[in-house]
Chain A
Amino acid sequence: ETGVTQTPRHLVMGMTNKKSLKCEQHLGHNAMYWYKQSAKKPLELMFVYNFKEQTENNSVPSRFSPECPNSSHLFLHLHTLQPEDSALYLCASSHGLNTGELFFGEGSRLTVL
């Protein structure tokens, strides 16, 4: 199993749909993250969880709703998204906060029609 696994790898949804992105890490890490990567923009931090508790919400619209049931799993629930939300959503994990090494999944490429 790869270290950080994301599903689905590709997702197309309409603006009225509800879908979820899933992330699972097999590295025994305590911290998990959601980042958004859009074309010609830097990675944008969305959410940070440490030991299942949310420690950071980077002013993300409420149409994105994270869930972290345990230290190994992280979800991003999506509803009533906009076309400008189309991007690559990357999950990452790390051994703790304040560490420079994040381990990323391959990402979920989302297209909102």
Chain B
Amino acid sequence: RKEVEQDPGPFNVPEGATVAFNCTYSNSASQSFFWYRQDCRKEPKLLMSVYSSGNEDGRFTAQLNRASQYISLLIRDSKLSDSATYLCVLSAGTALIFGKGTTLSVSS
């Protein structure tokens, strides 16, 4: 089983839609979780950390379910500028392990 699994998509949604991405992980010892965003032909950038209690940053909400080894990212009121690949990331020792990413395309 891969360490981090994500549905690659693409998810094609209209502006204003709500979209959710899921990610499962295999290492139950993982301590920290994150969502990164990677625009086409650009480097990945941290979008937000994921806390056990769930956390929100504007239109973005992240949730963690340790029992099911599952994290999610919800984007409300999608904008054209949200089009990107969203990478699920977890900590493993001294470095980060990345998922393949889920591609989102928001259209007008």
Residues of A within 8 A of B (CB): 33, 35, 40-43, 45, 48, 50, 55-56, 90, 97-98, 100-102, 104-107
- Please name the residue on chain B nearest to A41 by beta carbon: B100
Stretch at the interface among B10-18, B37-45, B59-67, B69-77: B37-45
Which residue of A40, A55, A106 is within 8 Å of B94 (Cβ)?
Answer: A55
Assess A101 versus B46: contact at CB under 8 Å? Given A43-B98, A45-B97. Answer: yes
B76 → A minimal CB distance (Å): 23
Q: Are A90 and B43 closer than 8 Å at their CB atoms? A: yes
B29 proximal to A (CB < 8 A): no
- Please name the residue on chain A nearest to B45 by beta carbon: A104
Assess A100 versus B95: contact at CB under 8 Å? Given A105-B43, A107-B43. Answer: no
CB proximity to A under 8 Å, residues B44-98: 44-46, 49, 87, 89, 91, 93-98
Assess A45 versus B95: contact at CB under 8 Å? Given A104-B43, A104-B44. Answer: yes
Assess A106 versus B97: contact at CB under 8 Å? Given A100-B32, A100-B89. Answer: no
Main secondary structure on A side of the interface with B: loop
- Please name the residue on chain A nearest to B31 by beta carbon: A98
- Please name the residue on chain B nearest to A4 by beta carbon: B43
Which residue of A41, A100, A102 is within 8 Å of B49 (Cβ)?
Answer: A100
B4 proximal to A (CB < 8 A): yes
B34 proximal to A (CB < 8 A): yes
A104 to B4, CA, bound (A): 20
Q: Are B100 and A42 closer than 8 Å at their CB atoms? A: yes
Q: Are B98 and A56 closer than 8 Å at their CB atoms? A: no
Assess A98 versus B43: contact at CB under 8 Å? Given A40-B100, A41-B100, A42-B100. Answer: no
Q: Are A100 and B91 closer than 8 Å at their CB atoms? A: yes
Question: Residues of B contacting A97 with CB < 8 Å?
Answer: 94-95
Which residue of A56, A101, A104, A106 is within 8 Å of B95 (Cβ)?
Answer: A56
Question: Residues of B contacting A105 with CB < 8 Å?
Answer: 43
